[in-house]
């Protein structure tokens, strides 16, 4: 499996499972309706575990532009490879969101609000203050990436044996830091599905909230780059 295919498939699996559990919890008339935060966090943990485990040997299991930028900033990943990895991650996230829409489209059309529809695809803040939301995503991602780099010393990948601790780290970030913004900590996880929300037909669909979109895109990128620099300059 080529790195491009691996990043595409791994990111798609993360979105299919992760956004799928959000849909199951949020949407009406599903078997998991009102399952709550614990169900969502556990779903994302499983999603990341599967994505990392299945792609570690093929691409290094970045599956997240913040990880790719962090490793490049740390000098452990070739900057010339960054655009290809991010393209694969974005396309995988979009494809994963499409699969979730295909599975849940009847429930999406019966969603109680346009906000519930959007929540299946992308993140949003509990209290909308964009500078603070940006800081939250930046710091949450910085903590996430530093944790990854200590789990797996920064070469160019995570490694299959790191799948479980990385998944546990995702859960810890979700439980501890996910309250203010929904812990995107991954630009592809938010932007790819948000684009599919914009493109796909849904009954009663509202705005895709593009005014908020820069927060879960650029906050994690900044956090990832800072983590890569801090790790290599001060913590190795």
What CATH number corresponds to the domain at position 165? 1.20.1080.10
Residue 59: give the domain boundaries: 3-235
What would the pLDDT profile of 193-235 be if each residue is shown by its tens digit? 999 999 999 999 999 999 999 999 999 999 999 999 999 999 9
Q: What is the pLDDT of residue 72?
A: 95
Q: Judge if pTM exceeds 0.75.
A: yes
In percent, how much of the chain has pLDDT > 70?
96
189: pLDDT strictly greater than 90 = yes
Band (154; pLDDT cuts 50, 70, 90): very low
For residue 185, CA distances in Å to 30, 156, 222, 223, 234 come to 27, 19, 10, 9, 23
How many structural domains is the chain composed of? Answer: 1
């Amino acid at each position: 499996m080529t790195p491009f295919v691996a990043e595409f498939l791994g990111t798609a699996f993360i979105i299919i499972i992760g956004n799928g559990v959000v849909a199951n919890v949020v949407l009406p008339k599903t078997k998991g309706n009102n399952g709550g935060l614990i169900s969502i966090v556990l779903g994302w943990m499983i999603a990341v575990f599967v994505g990392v485990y299945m792609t570690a040997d093929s691409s290094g299991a970045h599956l997240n532009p913040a990880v790719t930028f962090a490793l490049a900033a740390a000098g452990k990943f070739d900057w010339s490879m960054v655009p290809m990895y991010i393209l694969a991650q974005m396309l995988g996230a979009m494809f994963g969101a499409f699969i979730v829409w295909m599975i849940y489209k009847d429930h999406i059309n019966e969603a109680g609000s346009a906000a519930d529809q959007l929540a299946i695809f992308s993140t949003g803040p509990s209290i909308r203050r964009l500078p603070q939301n940006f800081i939250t995503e930046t710091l949450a991602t910085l903590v996430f990436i530093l944790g990854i780099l200590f789990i797996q010393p920064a070469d160019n990948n995570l490694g299959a044996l790191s799948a479980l601790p990385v998944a546990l780290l995702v859960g810890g970030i979700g439980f501890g830091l996910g309250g203010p913004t929904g812990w995107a900590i991954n630009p592809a996880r938010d932007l790819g599905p948000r684009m599919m929300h914009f493109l796909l037909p849904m009954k009663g669909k509202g705005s895709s909230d593009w005014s908020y979109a820069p927060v879960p895109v650029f906050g994690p990128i900044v956090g990832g780059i800072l983590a890569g620099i801090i790790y290599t300059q001060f913590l190795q």
